[in-house]
Amino acid sequence: MSLPWGVKESVASEHVEAVSAYVATAENTIITVAGKPVTLLKLGVKEIKGNHFLIFRYQL
């Protein structure tokens, strides 16, 4: 099993509530990316210096 990876993506202010609601249900979900299973480990929307970011960890 490989090590977990982290990703940070910006989220527009008007979409913060919708993205937060979605990621609240997606933790520990297995999705398929490029034909390989990926486990979403931890997800959340954070505000950093007035900007919003989706921050998540995943494992192949």
Q: Give this prediction's pTM.
A: 0.76
Q: Which amino acid does the sequence have at 6?
A: G
Q: Determine the structural domain holding residue 32 and report its residue range.
A: 5-59
Using one digit for the tens of pLDDT, what is the confidence trace for 5-59? 888 999 999 999 999 999 989 888 999 988 999 999 999 999 999 999 999 998 9
| Domains of the chain: total | 1
Q: How far apart are CA 56 and CA 42, in angstroms?
A: 5
Mode of pairing for the β-strands spanning 36-48 and 51-59 = antiparallel
Q: How far apart are CA 30 and CA 57, in angstroms?
A: 12
